[in-house]
Structure 1
């Protein structure tokens, strides 16, 4: 049963990565073109928007890879190991990186909202940094709990 669950989670992680890849291929260039059209006086706007979105995709896929590694540790009965703690730490740093990159782009969302007179665009721009921050906090809590469990386990192994 445990392997079926981790297999399901691995498939879910892969399925999470596919739409982001499609967004990077099809939507990011369009967003860059829209940004260039909205702000023709800022020559580098298209490249700035594209660079930030592509740069945030790199830690996203690295975090997905770490999640798959974490699930494989669970399959190998190494869930309570330093390897799992390191994977959670890397996931936390990836989420912080994604959140930071998108916070840096928030002024662009404000400019888009001013240009189109649509204040809801700012809230849309807050979704990714907020979700990434929640993931970072969750990974940090799991990392700390796992580290404490490993410490308790090693103390119990020493006393026996």
Structure 2
């Protein structure tokens, strides 16, 4: 049963990465062009969009790789190991990095909201940083719980 559930999660991790790859290939250049058209005074804005989105894709895929490693540890009955704690720590740092990068782009969403007179655009810009922070907090909580479980386990092993 455990093999089936981890296989399902591994497939889900792979399927999560595919739309982000498609977005990086097709949507990010379009967003950059739209930003350059809407803000002709800031010609460099197109490159800022490219840098932020492509730079945030790197920690995203690294976090997916760490999640895949975590699932492999579960398959090998090594879930309660220091390697799992390290994987969760790296996922946490990746989520914080993604959130920080997307917070840098929030002024761009503000400029778009001013041009279109649509304040809802700012809330759309907050979705990715907020979701990344939720993932970072969740990973931090899991990391702490797992570390405490490992400490209790090693304490019990020394008692016997």
Shorter-normalised TM-score: what interval?
over 0.9
Corresponding residue for 1:92?
92
Say yes or no: does 1:32 pair with 2:32. yes
In 2: Cα distance, 1:102 partner to 1:2 partner:
36
Offset at residue 41 of structure 1 (A): 1.1
RMSD (CA atoms): 0.4
Corresponding residue for 1:49?
49
Does the residue aligned with 2:78 lie in a helix, a strand or coil?
Answer: coil
Corresponding residue for 1:63?
63
In 2: Cα distance, 1:54 partner to 1:113 partner:
23
Say yes or no: does 1:17 pair with 2:8. no
Runs of 4+ in structure 1 over 6 Å off: none
Corresponding residue for 1:78?
78
TM-score scaled by structure 2? 0.99
Offset at residue 116 of structure 1 (A): 1.1
Aligned residues: 160
Structure 2 unpaired stretches of 5+: none
TM-score scaled by structure 1? 0.99
Does the residue aligned with 1:98 lie in a helix, a strand or coil?
Answer: helix
In 2: Cα distance, 1:114 partner to 1:44 partner:
19
In 2: Cα distance, 1:123 partner to 1:50 partner:
21
Structure 1 unpaired stretches of 5+: none
Offset at residue 144 of structure 1 (A): 0.2
